[in-house]
Amino acid sequence: NGEVLTSTSFGFSGPFFLLAVAIFKVFSTSLTVGSGSSGGLLGPSFAIGGMLGAFVGTMASVLFPELNIIVFPFLLVGMGSFFAGVARAPIAGMIMVCDMIGSYALLPALMIVAMIAVVLSHKISIYRNQIKNRFLSPSHHWDMNQDIMDRIRIQDHFTEFRKYAMVSEHLSLTQLQSNAPGIQASDFILLGSNEEYKGIVSLRKNRILPEYEAELKNLITCGEIVQDVPPVCQKDTLGKALRILLEYDVDKLAIVEENRCLGYLRYIDLFNAYQNEVKNKNKKSKAV
């Protein structure tokens, strides 16, 4: 009838009526969804949570009338926290309730009650067939499955390789530091006299400070500070190359065939090849 929902509107029968509505809604939703009929779980979850929250609020107003408790915040907090618990989606429950009322005034209470509900739910969710994450989803298989990179060979996407950041093992470290800005690289592929691969020199890990450049000029060569990073060949996979990059903390990887370095691949090159493979697979699946 348009009146404000306050504690004066309820007697002892009010809270138990709301509790009865919540229990009845639980059974009616179970019958509707469990029988195979058309029905969702979001709306019923909000309805049950709202009734339970209103039950707590009205019971508090009856037991403590001197506090002049307003019931509708309890109802809203109950909606969001109940859904957060049964769906194990605390952030979604909080955001939806705040969006409904157009205010974040109840967010602190929602956060507290929603987290309690999630903890008490013991990892039980109403969405029993919901996958744990996107990595296990068939629809996101080509987007999220990292094993795909172990199926893609380097030779399938690359016929030529970059050679800008390749230097001789006899080059001094000071010269390399002065040349690095023009090449725009921090890690360099080190080559021997016959273009055989020796390793990688990283200026992120080895650098002469400006105040010592004059004393150490031409004293330290790149061959003396080389990092032994395994190379890959064209028949290797993107997954193997990526694991080497991560393990040795370098940003490029040498491609070697018959003891001769053909060039190198960078992080961005690997992921570009991966994205192209995903796009090609998606096109083929849509065509089928």
**How many angstroms from the chain centroid is the CA of residue 36?**
34
Q: Is the pLDDT of residue 8 over 50?
A: no
Question: 70: pLDDT confidence band, cut at 50, 70 and 90?
Answer: confident
Q: Who contacts 52 (Cβ-Cβ below 8 Å, separation ≥6)? A: 18, 19, 22, 78, 82
Q: Which residues contact 116 (CB under 8 A, 6 or more apart)?
A: 81
pLDDT(113) > 70: yes
Average pLDDT, integer, range 270-285: 78
Q: Which amino acid is at 71?
A: V
Confidence of residue 7 (pLDDT cuts 50, 70, 90): very low
Residues 97 and 222 in one domain: no
- Indicate the residue among 106, 130, 154 that finishes a domain: 130
pLDDT given for residue 147 in this prediction = 66
Query: What predicted TM-score, i.e. pTM, was given to this entire model?
Result: 0.48
Q: Could you report the per-residue pLDDT of 186-206, keeping only the tens digit for each?
A: 899 999 888 899 999 988 888
DSSP E strands, the chain: 166-168, 187-191, 197-202, 252-257, 260-266
Which of 86, 103, 130 finishes a domain?
130
Average pLDDT over residues 145-152: 72
Q: Which domain holds residue 120?
A: 7-130
Q: Which of 95, 130, 165 is the last residue of a domain?
A: 130
**Same-domain pairing of 65 and 92:** yes
Name the amino acid, one letter, at 237. Answer: T
In a shared domain, residues 174 and 274: yes
Rounded percentage of the chain residues whose pLDDT exceeds 90: 16
pLDDT of residue 232: 93
Instruction: Give the up-direction half-sphere exposure of residue 111: CA atoms within 13 A in the CB hemisphere.
Output: 5
The C-alpha angle 180, 224, 246, rounded to 5 degrees, equals 65
Sign of the dihedral defined by the CA atoms of residues 29, 32, 34, 39, in that order = negative
Check residue 190 and give its pLDDT.
Answer: 92
Flag whether pLDDT at 37 surpasses 90.
no
> Which is nearest to 254 in space by CA: 179, 150, 161?
161
- The DSSP code for 82 is H
pLDDT of residue 288: 52
Write the DSSP symbol of residue 159: S
Chain-centre distance of CA 149, in angstroms? 18
- Cα dihedral: 14, 18, 19, 25 (round 10): 160
Same domain for 218 and 98, yes or no, is: no
What is the per-residue pLDDT for 17? 87
The total number of structural domains in the chain stands at 2
| Ranges 3-12, 88-97, 255-264: which has the least confidence | 3-12
Helix runs in 42-140, H state only: 42-63, 72-87, 90-101, 107-120
Task: Examine the domain organization and report whether 125 and 171 are in the same domain.
Answer: no
